[in-house]
């Protein structure tokens, strides 16, 4: 089994939740990880301490607001200054909240499109020369609701649908030296808002496996695409327990 020793992965929005689990998984496979965060400084520093305790100088931090497109090249520069190279970009950062048609605002639309679609495009642009030099790869975190609409979430679903297409476009444009794939999670971690147990039960009832997935399910899929999938590019892999089977 190939390892990721000597490889450097930059992960956006990875101080907590699924992003942190992806970071731990790539790190355990031998990669040096660079954790991007915006506001979660404490979580990022704790994760860095945890990983560096396992292997010295194997985790670095970069901070930035991905809605500030002009600052994105600096995230790549900081990554190179600290880790020396860049092989893997995981566009994980995301915002998620409802935008009912009657009340959606331009600011909400710009925020959801910005974090879920615009930032991954310009992260890829800034990273591309370095990924091409190292025959690297990009993983975009899409969503099954970029494929199937979620009522009341028009801006979010549209952004993720755009990210799906961006994944395919980048795979064409950056081949043959860079592979670009996406992962579409289903019911993995519920959003950090007041629990709606009835809605959760309804969603799980619509999955073929009748249960919630875990962040490790996503992280293992990232590891597969990064380490073991040399002939896969331009693909979106749903990790949804069979949710897409139910219309």
Q: How many helices (H) and strands (E) does the chain have?
A: 8, 7
Burial 204-232 (b: 16+ CB within 10 A, else e): bebbeeeebbebebbbebbbebbbebeee
Q: What is the pLDDT of residue 201?
A: 82
Span 188-216, average pLDDT: 79
pLDDT confidence tier of residue 38, bands split at 50, 70 and 90: very high
Q: What is the pLDDT of residue 218?
A: 97
d(CA 203, CA 238): 15
Starting at the earlier edge strand, list the strands of the sheet with 179-185. Answer: 59-63, 32-37, 8-11, 88-91, 137-141, 179-185, 236-239
Pick the CATH number of 8-189+215-238 from 3.20.20.370, 3.40.50.720, 1.10.10.410, 3.40.50.300: 3.40.50.720
pLDDT confidence tier of residue 191, bands split at 50, 70 and 90: low
**156 labelled catalytic:** yes
pLDDT (tens digit per residue) in 138-176: 999 999 999 999 999 999 999 999 999 999 999 999 999
Domain boundaries, the chain: 8-189+215-238
pLDDT exceeds cutoff 90 at 44: yes
pLDDT (tens digit per residue) in 73-101: 999 999 999 999 999 999 999 999 999 99
pLDDT exceeds cutoff 90 at 180: yes
Torsion, Cα of 9, 144, 179, 26 (10° steps): 30
Which of 37, 97, 156, 231 is an active site residue? 156
pLDDT exceeds cutoff 80 at 199: no
d(CA 152, CA 136): 37
Radius of gyration of the chain (CA): 17
pLDDT confidence tier of residue 196, bands split at 50, 70 and 90: low
Residue of 152, 229, 150 whose CA lies nearest to 186: 150
């Amino acid at each position: 089994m190939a390892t990721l020793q000597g490889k450097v992965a930059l992960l956006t929005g990875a101080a907590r939740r699924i992003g942190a689990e992806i970071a731990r998984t790539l790190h355990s496979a031998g990669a040096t990880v660079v954790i991007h965060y915006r506001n979660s400084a404490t979580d990022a520093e704790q994760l860095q301490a945890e990983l560096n305790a396992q292997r010295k100088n194997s985790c670095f931090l970069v901070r930035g607001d991905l809605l500030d497109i002009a600052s994105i090249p600096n995230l790549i520069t900081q990554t190179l200054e600290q880790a020396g190279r860049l092989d893997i970009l995981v566009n994980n950062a995301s915002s998620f909240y409802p935008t009912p048609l009657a009340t959606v605002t331009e600011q909400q639309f710009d925020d959801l499109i910005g974090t879920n679609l615009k930032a991954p495009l310009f992260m890829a642009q800034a990273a591309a020369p370095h990924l091409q030099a190292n025959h690297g790869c990009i993983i975009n975190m899409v969503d099954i609701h970029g494929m199937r609409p979620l009522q009341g979430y028009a801006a979010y679903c549209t952004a993720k649908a755009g990210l799906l297409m961006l994944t395919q476009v980048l795979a064409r444009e950056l081949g043959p030296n860079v592979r670009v794939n996406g992962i579409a999670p289903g019911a993995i971690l519920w959003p950090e808002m007041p629990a709606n147990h009835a809605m959760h039960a309804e969603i799980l009832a619509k999955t073929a496996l009748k249960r919630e997935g875990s962040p490790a399910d996503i992280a293992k899929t990232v590891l597969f695409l990064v380490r073991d999938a040399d002939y896969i590019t331009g693909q979106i892999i749903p990790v949804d327990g069979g949710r897409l089977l139910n219309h």
